[in-house]
Chains A and B, each alone.
Chain A
Amino acid sequence: MTIQSSATRRRHRTVAATAALGALLAVSACAGGTSVGEAPSGDEVVDGQGEVTGSARLAWWGAGQRNEVTNAVADMFEEEHEGVTIEREFADFGAYFQRLNVQGTSGNLPCLTQMQGRQLNDYTSRNLFLPLDPMIESGAIDVSDIPEEVLDTGRGTDGNLYVVPYGAAYDALVVNETLVEQAGSEMLPEGYTWEDLQSWAMEMQPNLPEGVSALSLSGGRPNFLISYMAAKGETLFKDGKLGFSEEALAEYWTMWEEMRKAGATATPAQMSEQPEQPEQSYVSRGVTVADTAPGNSIINSQATLDGLGNGQTLTSLPLPSGEAGPGNVLFTSGFAIPVNCDNVPTAAAFIDFWANNDEAAAVFASSNGAVTNSRHLEAQLENPELPELRKHDLELYQQIAESEPPTVVYPPGYQATFEESYTRAYERVSFGEVSIEQAVSDFFTEVNAGLGATG
């Protein structure tokens, strides 16, 4: 009896202790939420004017060569402005945003925070960045050489400019010319449509060597869908929700399923094994003829293909067109200034320097997407030392930019909700778990519940 009751007592005490711990955690978790986004009160305008001195932190994503050139530009800025130090922080894309999120929670964002449109509104919806329009009006930042529609990609959902885009990436269709020729097919013509792409892939497939597929199974790639919808003239996002119709998505996935069932794509199992670095993609290894990929990745892919030593060459085309015109959209990168920055004049001067200094642009040489400053783009295209593939990459960008691509403003939660759910939803279709209609309806429910939440 006594043993039993003491054991019971002990259990009670343990339960009580655990409950107390839980309560403690809940309290501390609630208390943390309010300190984020100590935004300056609405009427206070930061125009970026002031003495350029002291130190400022600069953060970007990248590796190897891009780190070298970014460091070089920062060094040039330090040389031009005596008494200024630029402290640098860099990491791989994924790790970069992991760290940035944590820094954002405690008001410790770097004065120069590199951003992309896809993540931007996760931050602006929490008032973490300063609007840059006043700094442009005051003359602290000059954006006159950046085309209007490219500049607009740096705007938040509220219409303010938060990022001055310095580099524009786009997705392209990377095609293995050698394999196309060997299969006896023609290259896709200029202005080709999704229907053209589909019949091209299905006609080529029987003539390809064993183990080679005409296309990757990219029905789960968010960027490809975005370009499809853009070409169709559908709105991607509206009021923080999905802007296109369920029918449009069902139609898109039906097209992919037709190609998959005809054997013109890689299998779903192969797709789930494909590594994310461009060097390891199936196109880079010559086992897939064509796939969508970031335009600049053709250089890395060709290098891997060269290593195989079979003399195959790659080229890149704009993504398919549709009723509303070409389907390309731009993914721009640039710098934002957080509200917690204590050295705004220096940060503004740095953004201006990056966007307009000729020598800096020549050194950076479009290392993170094509340079957005039109004058610099011309200069780089005229450079006789420019490698052939890089030139092709920049020309394709120029072609896309001139076609005035639609500006996509990504709602907060885009990366966390849309991209994850989209890939998963199509995997469920391609692995035969659910019907297309079911997957589409689940996807819409899931994403509309998660998008736009600032929680």
Chain B
Amino acid sequence: MSELHIVVCGSIVPDPLQTLAPMEGPTGWALKNEMMLPAVLDPWAGHALYEAAALAKKHPGSRVWLVSLAPKAKLQQVMMAVSQKAPFELVVADGPASGFTDSFETARVLAGAIKGIAGLDTGKLLLFGGWQSASRGSGAVMQMVGEMLGVTEQFQGVDKLTLRDDGSMEVKERVEGGAYQISVVSGAPAVFGWATGELPEPPNNPQIGMQNMQKNMPALMQAKPADLSGSGLKLSAVAVPQQRRETRVVKDVPVDDMAREIVEWLKA
């Protein structure tokens, strides 16, 4: 495979161990003292970024963008630490990162920012992000960003991505029960929601940091406020599920009987 165009979606979250207190303010829910809380790059997004950087290093000519929806002043501070870890180009949408923003709205802003990246070849696009988030636990944003960009090959809970010579990619995903599923996708574009990956956090490299910030500081300065007003959203309906499952604990039921019962339940 030739050069890659990897876009990593990732924002900031409060530094681990901080005490978080949700509070309702004039603009909706937020974290108490959010701008005072020390922040770090979301660990899930961090794994995605380090995997992206490692892949790009193996494929000369590749480019990595980090697309971040976060308050730019706070993001700037976090970037001084993150940018020492791996080379990337920063794309910023200035907005809250408290975890109280609607997932669809967040996805819409991120997708819009990605569409605006000059030089991005969507035919080569590998869209990376966290499978989960330390502040947004729904795990839905990456899927929606992919859909908004028309990328239908999607993998979640990825721990390993191996690029083959023919351009296809082998993906190792976490699935239920602590098992892994290995899939092969014929090539880009594709979405990868990373779990922890397999790489350690890179050391701080001041040279990489300086190279990054020379081009990323203007992106921070010029970041435009993101529209997260929710004006495009409307509540359609709320309903409880039609079907409810009753859980029983039974022993020594033959597998065939269990399968039969499940099929009957599904048919019902």
Asked if A and B are interacting partners, one says: no
